[in-house]
Structure 1
């Protein structure tokens, strides 16, 4: 900056210096020179496009309306998973990718909903992720009349609910994220430009979910500042949701309303989904009346959260399966270790990632033997990945919580 100022002084002095009579001072040229240098100074001092996750826990105001909105979102996610258990892993993976967009070195990125743009890429795996984004967008619009949640909050909330829906632990999620203001433009741009455009904007997926390499998965967690302990807990949960016991679990019988929708085509209706309807600025009108507990387009047997029923099924039926129970939710680690003893390296990229790094493998062994330790670590790890890099705003929350990130799980055994 000092150098630029010096250049400006020299340029102005040179322009104002006496000239020979034959060459009069051109005032317009002088004005252009000064304006140009001023613009260079402004450009040099202007901050880069903001990529910080802003989080205000008080943004939704009325607690009852917020709780009602959360309950309806969780119920809808539970209902979708009950009818197609294979989608549970997509909800969870979407939340992980949103959090893994954070770069610990630059302290930029994080769970701000930008994952909805980064997944606008070809391939079946990305199509399945877009399907669940479609569902969350519909929920976002439907809740507008009462208390709409941001897409970033819906992604984090649905990721937690995907675990509970298959018999896993109930995980609390801090709400209050603000969607990235460039989200809508980025969705359109990546839809047209593909991976090159995503890379140019710095929003490419943390790892390629279509052809994920185990080493790339581990690197993604390191880049975002997660310990091997946290990586093992989160990857273990993803492996559970990708397992046959969940994917091939018996689904709730669907009503016959036209042709069945294949994977990668869920929720698209008669019109192709554009993914452009995200309500970033609260301008969309909702389709839900304040006195109605059912979304437009919901099935007739839409489940209403019941505080007097079983807590585990307060938001709808859970998916049943041999390993989809909190009592044996660490079975995946036992299976992975058993495969390793047989010389196998995992049947999926995620399972291979659990065995690729020795430090991660230490925690795989521990979780295989200690189920409660895994459940506890999973709770803390998911909570952290859904708010990593957040900058708190809003009065007392900013004063108490800002610059105090959630602590990492220690790697000490």
Structure 2
């Protein structure tokens, strides 16, 4: 099958390479010339483990090509995937301007029956809206269908999630469209869930919001455990072994960030508001997440005293390990609080390289913690777990660690002579 992927970010590129692996011929379409140039040369414009090797493989095989020619790409492919961004608007709703632009282009250039599939995370009812945009842009009436096939890719493990999904949601309005999508995914062994397009759109928002809810719940319990002298890690383990709950997303920390959870939760709340339906649980989860970095910073202040002119080392800038994404990352909130308190902030991240005003980003962990009066872990990169903390202690001015991800062995760190503070520990 000939598949067109419109939008070559991490979702679009990963989806394109999945279809290549399943034997389809794929075209990646993007208007960003610099991004296309990188992809054509086998380089990724973002960091995602494993994707670059697969990209080079399929470039060499000729099963994937990249172009900026919208007209030719639309005409030559049978199935068209919309994988463009849906950023958050000022009111919290999803901005569909990129989706609309793509739909209008499809309408102008469609030359025979096409199945158009939204992979982007979009509000309920978008499939119907895309249909209307395409119809309004058609020069002459040509049949097509619009389906919803939401993505469930985790940044940092997108390739494995694509190749070995828990499920694939097929939101269609006809038997023909369902058969086409089943043919597209025929080599996967996971359940293929058939729904309406609107249900598929809701499933995506509902799933991400539920995971965000679990994170905020365990973080709020962590605050209580701090007051009760209980280790939240023990609580999480005891809860997570219950198969009805599960241990995923039950790690207390400084909150969730990234390109999905904050945006998707706000979008679902906005959808509910539009229909006068109150999602009070999600509103509270959002409030907990927004205040969690400040809660942790207050703990830092309480145990370090005046931070003015003190060197503080912040380890981890990305919102999670194995990605270079810093959107809504909790570390930037922590850094902002530190700077306002007058601290001299030095940062380190294995992948992210950004310039932050009045901060220093060091090349090594050793340089970052040297002469520091406190170390704050904001991202649970394995490099920090594997670091020689015994040696690092001798480089620090004060052996104090604030573990914002509860990733280190508390008792081991204290046995080395560290003052160790976690979340709910």
TM-score normalized with structure 1 length: 0.19
Higher strand share: 2
More helix by proportion, 1 or 2?
1
Larger Rg: 1
